[in-house]
Structure 1
Amino acid sequence: MITQWYWCGVLGEMYGGSTETRFTRDVEQLVAWVRREGPAPETVTDAYFFPERLDTLTTRNSAAYKGIYALLIKQGAVDWHYTGAPLKPSLMDEYGVDVRHIFPRAWVRRNRDGAKIPPANSIVNKTPLSLRAAQALTGAPGSYLDSLAAASDMRREWFDDVIATHLIDPYFLRNNDYEAFYAARAKQLEDMVYAAMGKRTILRDMTDGKAVK
């Protein structure tokens, strides 16, 4: 219950404004909820994450941006250079782990620039990787993935399994299909977020714009 409350607060960006009132209310409501003496806190019941928010999560200024980064580590993302085991907090500094672009922004601008192209700076096009892995991310993924696999002494299909730990479909990367990659990963990130929040997928009724559960 505490875990659900935490992720609802982070991913729903419930503490983005004035925090004093919400903090006081949360202390009262959360304790009562955990003791089975009251309903779920408003931070849980009122928190939502709409899929289109992914397009605008571009900097660490957002709690949701940092939350997705943390969830990718938590769910077992394996680095693309240090492939022996999933990333963990104790190795973040040693490996120089940071949020890195999957499709380089320059490549997207040069090859896919257009009004309807998903934003290259979105969290959807980023993932936690070490500095050593990031140094190989030049050009299109279809050109750098095999060199990363070779450096890790891994067969292509094994390295594809490593890529998949980041909720990425390696097929779209190897074919440099940015739009398909973006759509598929956005859906997987949405599912990860909703699972952490304990929410069912929020659908958008395209006819009248109302959100429904």
Structure 2
Amino acid sequence: MKIKKWKLTIIIACGIALVIGLIKKQEYTNIMADENNLFLFSVAPLHNDMLPDSLDEYIDLLTNSPIILRVKASGKREYTAKTIKQHVQIVEVYKGTHINEGEEIDILTTRMFLNLDDMTLNLGFTNLLKKDNEYLVFFDEKINSPYPKDNVYRISELLINPVFNYRDVPNTIIENKRYVPYSSVSENEFMVGDSVSLKKILLFKQKLLSKYPQ
């Protein structure tokens, strides 16, 4: 009898978890039906004390990524529970096999997600891709999917997302804040909390772009 009650408890708990998960997924989908709702969120900026003295050590790490692409953002995004996928078209293949220029793919990073509990937006210290802008992106792998139409690539893991705009983008800095309104930095390329960290990241970006010019 006790075993039956124990099994019943597990079944009920799993059922509750499933319902909560479905509700949360629906909440994410609904709130992002309007992209302007991004401005309801806050983001955490990157501060210099989180960075090493030099980012040069990351250059070799990224250049050894199995897939390196120049892509053009379509502006289309898909928000699900705990992930954001961004749609792009491949402009140039610097490294990688069985990948074609002109191919359309989705960029996935598990570090980019919305948190409805505290209304924060985790972006990995880089902004969402801007429509028609071209980016240098470093990937770890293509995601194996049971769905034939899926064409999803996961970016390399780094302190900041290794996604770099070929344009020079002005970056607003709001100092001494743990979180800042996304509306205040929505035009940024990088989410930074001081001028020192911005200088380091821009130098890092420039060195990488010089290796993979347009």
TM-score by length of 2: 0.23
Higher helix share: 1
TM-score by length of 1: 0.23
Higher strand share: 2
